[in-house]
Structure 1
């Protein structure tokens, strides 16, 4: 989830859309890739220097050249691809050409949150069937039908829109954000009939992480993921911290919304590649929890933007290859990371949508990049 706007919009509208709706460009919502290959648009435009080993081209450089050329859909694009025998990286337009440039990863943060949650499940701190109210009694009203940890992970909690206004991200706390969804809202419909992407789910999970570990969410991400994997450019900034490391893909914003455990992290393409390869390749989770990453909840099968039981977006390429990962937007940039199920081939991208970019054009840009890369 996270909001991205190429035009100026009010902070209040931006924040509410950010938490409630998922990655968006202006008023466009792009929570995941399309559910079927038939919905793909053709690759849209910039050849990059590549080193390809083996008997076949590992990336479609012609398609990437078209997709990455600055134009109406994107003013600039960064793409990094790695896998057996391939290392390919390129940035076009105003984006930094430095392959280690940091950027705000938006809802890709949810991959870190779900990983920590599944680790805690493996440790017996709670189960996927544990009602969140057992962990956080003051959040979900007692008269609601229980919402479980697993439902929050898979966006099947039934939580809808907030019932309280949320102004600027600065000065907010996770508790205030959660209260906007649970303090005055009617109970979610029961039974839940659709998978509904909602950042509030991951604010609740972030609070659950802090409650059962006794440490902050940022500390747990560093202790469990960033330090073990050597992710030196990956961290959770504090609320109100609008600074960006040097080099950075995008310029700092004086007042960025703060999305914490559901969309607030900063990283770079090499770190996201390493994390995604480790996650999909089974290095971060025991087998029982690893299987949740690729399990498809029944409610997801009818969704146009499906998510796995572990919160990953998934997509089948035109050649039948299944890819898994997450999109996210923040600070006017739309980004994402996707990999093959074994984690051996990974693509990370970030781009600055043009002011006239439509929803379909942006989806086509993303799917064109992923098709050409994987």
Structure 2
């Protein structure tokens, strides 16, 4: 049986992170450097410095690379507290896509690759992006990949287009998921390649205007035109890309849930406060069943989400793969968080659709959460396949 009681150290860390976010991070939510394409790097660096001063920087990064080296269960507590503000994960350097890319590099990269990219990356000196999704190609189904690479001697020449690439603008390097064309005795197949973003052959074609704006650098379309990548920049092995995608995505789906659960708690608290103090038809609106039931449903969704996250985190800490569990949890929590945010908008009425509170912002972010790292419908399809296969 899994014990969901927090240790004294976890409780202390949870309180430290929550207080840090409330005191130091929330005041930046109206900062002009928070743009329609996310926080600028100047704002990110300033928030990173505050987290360093508080001893809360990079909780997920192994201690050998300067992080706190926390396990998944403790990360669930910390990321939840960080997510109390959409800027909290930015401050702690544990936001997407960087958090997942750091995990991937730590688990798959060579020592030389770690020294070149992971070391400054973990320190917050540079940012990254992950190029997998394509317009009309790879996305929820990565087997539809259109970006190709062919051999030129021992080098790889990459051509294709990726889009909805989070953090592309201003990032220092990219991890490219592409289909390498076999050549004689040289292997082919789905492969991950690393490249610095300043290389000839990489162009940010356009910045995308999207519903969300909590990720540094926003989202962009990236074009590769005869990009040359040397063999030492292969991440892992040629042809093993699908395996590494799961190394990255299984824990990343879970950490998304952790962060956005914290945001759900925040907007629920705002809605509760509003329901206590706003009067209509002779009493606080929270005492009307229409509002009171929405608050109750929020509480149910939040508590169920927390239990699912902790259960999946515990499975990962026990060494279980967690791919199926993270898919179930990502689907359930993303839908629950959106329901919470949607109800909070409704409870606040006109105020809920303004930027007077963070509710409108979290609502937009939660809507996008139901799509990225696999839309809910694709996860349900995969879950159903597993159910039928296993009887």
Same fold by TM-score, threshold 0.5 exceeded?
no
Q: Which one scores higher on RCO, CA 8 angstroms, separation ≥ 6?
A: 1
**Between structures 1 and 2, the one with greater helix share:** 2
**Normalising TM by the smaller chain, what interval?**
under 0.3
